[in-house]
Amino acid sequence: MCELFALSSERPANATFSLGVFGERGGRLGPHKDGWGVAFKEGRDFRLIKEAAPASDSACLRFVESQEFRSEIVLSHIRLASVPRVNSYTNTHP
C-alpha cells in the first residue's frame, strides 16, 4: 500500500518540513522505497516532480525541500510496489 501526504490551505503555506519528514518514510523509516512524487500549485500552474527511486535517498527531493516553496495545494506520494516489483517512472505518482 502506498502513502499520501496532502496539504490544502487558504493561503500559500510552507510544506518543506512536512515533505522532508514524509520523504524519510520513503525508504529510510518505512518500506515505501519504490518511487515518489510531488505535485504543487505554483501561481496558476501546477508543478510535478517524481522519480522511480527511494525518496529518502533522493537528491532531487532534497533540492525541492531547499527551495522552501509555498503553495495552497500540495500532494505527495511514496510508493511500495506490488509483486512483481516494477520500479519505473510510469508507475510513480501523483
Cβ pair 7, 82 in contact under 8 A: no
- Cα of 1 vs its chain's centroid, Å: 15
The one catalytic residue in 1, 2, 76, 79 is 2
- List Cβ neighbours of 42 (8 Å cut-off, separation of 6 or more): 69, 71
Hey, what CATH class is 3-82 in? alpha beta
Q: Please confirm, yes or no, whether 60 is among the known catalytic residues.
A: no
pLDDT tens across 29-84, in order? Answer: 888 989 999 999 998 999 999 999 999 999 988 888 888 888 999 999 999 888 77
Q: Model-level pTM?
A: 0.84
Mean pLDDT across 23-31: 87
Is pLDDT at 11 greater than 90 in this prediction?
A: yes
> What is the distance between the alpha carbons of residues 52 and 35, in angstroms, rounded to a whole number?
4
Q: What is the identity of the amino acid at 48?
A: L
Helix 16-24 × helix 59-66 angle, to 10°: 160
Give the start-to-end residue ranges of the domains of the chain.
3-82
